[in-house]
Amino acid sequence: MKKIQLILVDDHQLFRNGLRFILSENEKFDVIGEASNGKEFINLLEYFKPDVVLMDISMPEMNGIEATKAGLEIYPDLKVLVLSMFGDTDYYNTMIDLGVKGFILKDIDNLELYDAIEKIYLGGNYFSQELLLELIKHKPPDESITLTQREKEVLGLICSGFSNQQISDKLFISQRTVERHRSSLLLKTDSKNSISLVIYAIKNKLVKV
């Protein structure tokens, strides 16, 4: 079985060591590189294309926002999972707009970390529950939206972190149909990407959490 190849980007050596150790205990993962700032990360992309990047936000020389933007310019399909602290909330919307695939708190347990990485690798999204609730506090509700039953089903699965393929399998519809529903949901909710869509859905009680 192919291992999920990861790059860890965080300016704290001790934290990276701990993260690497936790990931080494799971045979599904392979840490192929580490960086202590965004510049080192961009240099690594000259030699590696990781399946998932675990990205800190606050770092010297080049922070996580700049590094994510530069990384996505090199590999537009790069999957970035943000390593977050509660104090980073001012940066969330910027990271969401860039197209990151999820946010996790640095103190989550091992199993949640594994689950987050796997979901993102398979094409889904992942959010630590506490961070998601923090994000929706700052979004005004919208009373005007109307969804079809199928759109509600697709939205619920997107919010659960399912990929297009998994939604297709679960609802017995083609991936093309899933993508059409996803596009319609983004348009109706004026969301830039799936993360914005999830935040919108929870804020407006379109899904249960």
In a domain, 56, yes or no: yes
d(CA 193, CA 186): 7
User: How would you classify the pairing of strands 29-35 and 80-84?
Assistant: unpaired
- Residues in a beta bridge with 29: 4
Q: Where among 129, 157, 179 does a domain terminate?
A: 129
In a domain, 144, yes or no: no
Residue 78's domain comprises 4-129
| pLDDT in single tens digits along all 209 residues of the chain | 789 999 999 999 999 999 999 999 999 999 999 999 999 999 999 999 999 999 999 899 999 999 999 999 999 999 999 998 766 667 888 888 899 999 998 888 999 999 999 999 999 999 888 877 777 776 666 767 889 999 999 999 998 888 899 999 999 999 999 999 999 999 998 888 888 888 888 888 888 76
Shared domain check, 124 and 80: yes
Whether the CB-CB separation of 41 and 35 falls below 8 Å is answered with yes
Shared domain check, 184 and 97: no
Residue 182's CATH number: 1.10.10.10
In a domain, 136, yes or no: no
> How many Å from the N-terminal Cα to the C-terminal Cα in the chain?
33
In a domain, 125, yes or no: yes
Domain count, the chain: 2
- Identity of the amino acid at 163: S
Residue 70's CATH number: 3.40.50.2300
Shared domain check, 102 and 154: no
In a domain, 111, yes or no: yes
Indicate the SS3 state at residue 5.
strand
